[in-house]
Chain A
Amino acid sequence: MSGVAPLELVDVVREYGGGRSLFGRRLPAHRAVDGVSLTLQQGATLGIVGESGCGKSTLARMIVGLLPPTAGHILIDNRPIDQFDRLSLHRKVQMVFQDPLGSLNPRKTVRQVLEIPLRSLRGMHAPARRDRVQELMHLVSLRAEFIDRYPHEFSGGQCQRIGIARALAAEPEIIVLDEPVSALDVSVQAQVLRLLQDLQARLGVAYLFISHDLAVVEAIADTVAVMQAGRIVERGGAAQIFLAPQHAYTRELIGAIPGLSAMPA
């Protein structure tokens, strides 16, 4: 399989609104994603950076199949995603959300949350599930005795670990992370970033890592794509983007990193 890019986007477009009004007049459509082409290599991390409203989350939702693209192709293992059935798509690509607490059902314990994908996506039986849940908890460094607790009993960073464990339960090749650390303070953010790096080294999963903060993306990504108003305006190696930005918007993003000049390296 090596050499095949597990995820490829070709001229992907997504419009909101549009259609026709009651009297058949064309309504103006808003292009949230405007012809994006990207390639994610196996076991690598592709960072997408841009300010809020530039279409990052729309892109994420299309890749995991929550939203159909208006035009263009999304290929997973060289196959368009509309040829996958729902379950086999979810076994290939998973997602971690921005709001750590909001992405967990307040009335389900950690165990219940983690068992769902094991049953419906991996078809595991009860005894196997029990062992696997323990393994997943260990994988994201959550203590085993937390397993029967409810989300509100956890801190933001711990909730995000549960969200990551849930995504890993499907054993996906790709995880789309939509602003996974933006709601966390710097020290917890550092813990989660470290965990993600560690998991990638161990499991070989590929990340599509989305953030508005170039410093965070740069810390975890191999390659970076800069997105502005639905388009990719610049792409390249993480260090190269930062050291030799080509596009004016990339330079603005670098300038926006707080304390860059004041903080000693």
Chain B
Amino acid sequence: MSGAQGIAVPLAPTPASRPSSAGVWRRFMRSGMAVAGAGLLLVVVALVLAAPFLPLSDPDRTDILHRMARPLTTGHLLGTDELGRDLLSRVIWGTRLSLLVGVVAATLSSLIGSALGVVAAYYGRAVDTLVMRGVDMLMAFPYLLLALAIVAALGPSLGHAMLAIIIVNVPFFARAVRGATVSLRQSDFIAAARLMGQSNLRIIATELLPNVLPVVVVTASTSVGWMILETAGLSFLGLGAQPPVADLGGMLGSARNLINVAPHVAAVPGLAILLIAIGVNLVGDGVRDALDPRLRAGGLARISAVTEVAPDRPMPAQPPSDALLSVRSLRTEFRSGGQVWRAVNDVSFEVRAGEAVGLVGESGSGKTVTALSIAGLVASPPGRIAGGSIRFKGQELIGAPLAALQDIRGNRVAYMFQDPLTTLNPLLTIGQQISETVRRHQGLGPRAAMAQAVTLLEQVGITDPAQRARSFPHELSGGQRQRVGAAIALANSPDLIVADEPTTALDVTTQARVLALMNEQRHRLGAALVFISHDMGVIAELCDRVHVMYAGSIVESGRVADVLSRPAHPYTIRLLACVPRPGQARREVEPIPGLPPATNALPPGCAFAPRCDLAIAACSAGAIPMVAVGQEHAARCVRTRDALQEAAA
């Protein structure tokens, strides 16, 4: 590349993974219920805003002659109340008052509560203790009782009722916002903001608040409905709005004695309250779902237990081999937003019994998706297996029934992941979790299973295993957790262990110990291993053969020693040059310029061509086959001969 001394020039950024504001709006509009609620509220709000301009009679003008007139009486569309006041006019003005009180109460209590929560969380220590103890004290009282006590002390009036509602709601906001802020405060960007010379006030205002605002807005918008109901409740008891002015609760309260004589007088404000509550809650739910799609009810339930398989998938031309695991022409893709991301694109490899095979490549090259495809663990939707064959001990796994796959998962094929914390249950001790795995597949009793769990912990080098079996996952260090991950993987003496970057989150010292352990235990059980890493050095530690992946395809395969000493694909050569080798003080590391291509728009021919300094026209003409360069050693490149020479130079 001609750029400044080979400093990589970044290409297009990765696709956005966080919800964009356009996405939030789209998701909100897709939810029919939320839109209906918003429509309902809009009509109500428009009506009460227009109240002064509508041809309504004075809501407080009494007319004893026409008291308790039925609805649809001329001049009184909804009838009149016990003093002959027009109900339509009263309900519109009453709704106006109730909405105003609800919105003001929600705004003020969320503002005060959030301010307290943010200050408590940011300053911590004494400030936090002081604020949160105060909040606890308020919350110790029953909610409604506290509101009643406040109004009783101040005297009944709508303003006092509102004040009471604000006071009792402040603690909820303070709690929610403090929780959201505490986790943010620990984050590095707050530390960075201090180093950039920002004052505390500025950090709170410009770094913390914008990030907790969504929490505040969602909580506030969902609580407006509650606050309207609560004020209505106080007015109903005669503690809020005082006659002749009435909010919805006050109207309902004075009509309650007439329920047998003139039910419509109570029904009209009652219905108004119902409609507002429904509208506010539908909108609130919609807002929450739109902001966080994962929380949507049933959202997770839709993901199927096994990866979807394309019914019309092409079958591989080659017959399956008799290896332990044989993957042929595997294609796994993700479909979203009308795009197809070809994460795994015609991948073939096999694993013989007892052998260790490495998959190596940059982030996003499809290593994880390949590994997850084996046991049908790729999330569907959006993932799906679009073609190929995966045979384990001769049995076809693609399209196999769920029961067959479940028997294989965790029993014949065991998985290890980067952070076992995400796969361990935080509420169970590690002893319980290991013995559970053992019981399910070996049919042992609880005692025997627990004894087995302790033995397994000892085998993976956990000191004081009987004691440690009683620990919860979060009480262990990263290295210990990965040893537990190994213990679970080894529990049922699997034939194959699939380990996806199990040591990437560990420091090199701990990594070396875990790698040594995996090697030793694997040999003891005679299990085969598929080991995934972005670091060729780690692969070299424990694998017999390696497949180098790039943009969803295998670009070089061979015995580890051969690939390391005679790399035949330009990508492999460049990848090896990225690994710092000690002992040659300040030897320049050689970064690969640019970034890998996005898998929804793969270039024709060699996907590495835009970054390859050997690229010629033939590279982009069409699909490139694997070219043999030695025994069991092949590379997907039209210039393997030149690549080998370059590597040797």
Contacts and interface: CB of A to CB of B under 8 A. Distances in A.
A105 B511 contact: no
B130 interface: no
B8 A191 contact: yes
Interface stretch (B189-197, B276-284, B436-444, B447-455): B189-197
Given A146-B13, A259-B540, A194 B589 contact: yes
B13 A258 contact: no
B519 to A, nearest CB: 12
A191 B509 contact: no
* Best-buried of B7, B9, B188, B193 by chain A (most CB within 10 Å): B188
Interface stretch (A27-35, A72-80, A125-133, A150-158): A150-158
A186 B534 contact: yes
B192 A259 contact: no
Contact of A51 (B362, B510, B565, B576): B510
B582 A254 contact: yes
A20 interface: no
* Best-buried of B194, B362, B585 by chain A (most CB within 10 Å): B585
A242 B592 CA distance: 26
* Best-buried of B191, B207, B509, B575 by chain A (most CB within 10 Å): B509
A99 B167 CA distance: 40
Contact of A193 (B10, B187, B581, B589): B589
29 contacts: A51-B508, A52-B478, A61-B191, A116-B196, A141-B8, A149-B13, A155-B14, A158-B10, A161-B10, A185-B534, A186-B578, A189-B578, A189-B589, A190-B579, A190-B590, A194-B7, A194-B589, A198-B7, A212-B507, A213-B507, A215-B581, A218-B583, A219-B586, A219-B587, A219-B589, A256-B509, A256-B511, A262-B541, A263-B536
Given A186-B534, A258-B541, A166 B583 contact: no
Given A106-B211, A143-B10, A187-B575, A90 B197 contact: yes
* Best-buried of B7, B207, B477, B584 by chain A (most CB within 10 Å): B7
A253 B363 CA distance: 26
Contacts of B188: 97-99, 102-103
Nearest to B186: A102
B198 A120 contact: yes
B279 to A, nearest CB: 30
B509 A253 contact: yes
B508 A258 contact: yes
Contact of A105 (B10, B18, B211, B538): B211
Contacts of A66: 191, 194-195
Nearest to B574: A187
A257 B196 contact: no
A197 interface: yes
Contacts of A239: 583-585
B613 interface: no
B564 A262 contact: yes
Contacts of B560: 262
Nearest to B478: A52
Contacts of B363: 156, 185, 188
B537 A220 contact: no
Interface string A79-98: 00000001100100011011
A155 B584 CA distance: 30
Given A105-B211, A219-B587, 11 more contacts: A97-B192, A105-B207, A120-B196, A186-B536, A190-B578, A194-B8, A213-B508, A219-B582, A222-B586, A252-B509, A257-B582
Interface of B: 3-10, 13-14, 16-18, 187-189, 191-198, 207, 210-211, 362-363, 477-478, 506-512, 515, 534-541, 560-561, 564-565, 574-592, 595
Contacts of A65: 195
A239 B510 CA distance: 23
A152 B192 CA distance: 17
* Best-buried of B196, B362, B579, B583 by chain A (most CB within 10 Å): B196
Contact of B582 (A117, A158, A237, A242): A242
Contacts of A191: 7-8, 591-592
A103 B189 contact: yes
A155 B512 contact: no
A160 to B, nearest CB: 11
Contacts of B588: 194, 197
Contacts of B9: 141, 143
A228 to B, nearest CB: 10
Contact of B210 (A86, A107, A154): A107
Interface in A215-246: 215-216, 218-220, 222, 237-239, 242-243
Contacts of B541: 258-259, 262
A254 B585 CA distance: 15
A107 B585 CA distance: 41
A145 to B, nearest CB: 10
A64 interface: yes
A147 to B, nearest CB: 12
Given A52-B478, A102-B187, A258-B538, A187 B362 contact: yes
Given A102-B188, A187-B592, A197-B588, A216 B512 contact: no
Interface in A28-62: 51-53, 61
B534 A265 contact: no
Nearest to A106: B211
B506 to A, nearest CB: 8
Contacts of B574: 187
Nearest to A154: B13
Contacts of B585: 218, 237-239
A76 to B, nearest CB: 14
A190 B589 contact: yes
A117 B196 contact: yes
Given A52-B507, A259-B536, A220 B586 contact: yes
A142 to B, nearest CB: 6
Contacts of A262: 537, 540-541, 560-561, 564
Interface in A103-142: 103-107, 116-117, 120-121, 141-142
Contacts of A106: 18, 211
A197 B588 CA distance: 9
Given A86-B197, A117-B197, A51 B507 contact: yes
* Best-buried of B197, B561, B584, B587 by chain A (most CB within 10 Å): B197
A94 B515 CA distance: 36
A257 to B, nearest CB: 6
A170 interface: yes
A116 B193 CA distance: 8
Contacts of B7: 141, 191, 194-195, 198
Contact of A97 (B8, B191, B507, B564): B191
B196 A216 contact: no
Contact of B580 (A121, A166, A216, A264): A216
A105 B578 contact: no
Nearest to A97: B188
A155 B160 CA distance: 54
Nearest to A192: B591
A243 B581 CA distance: 12
A10 interface: no
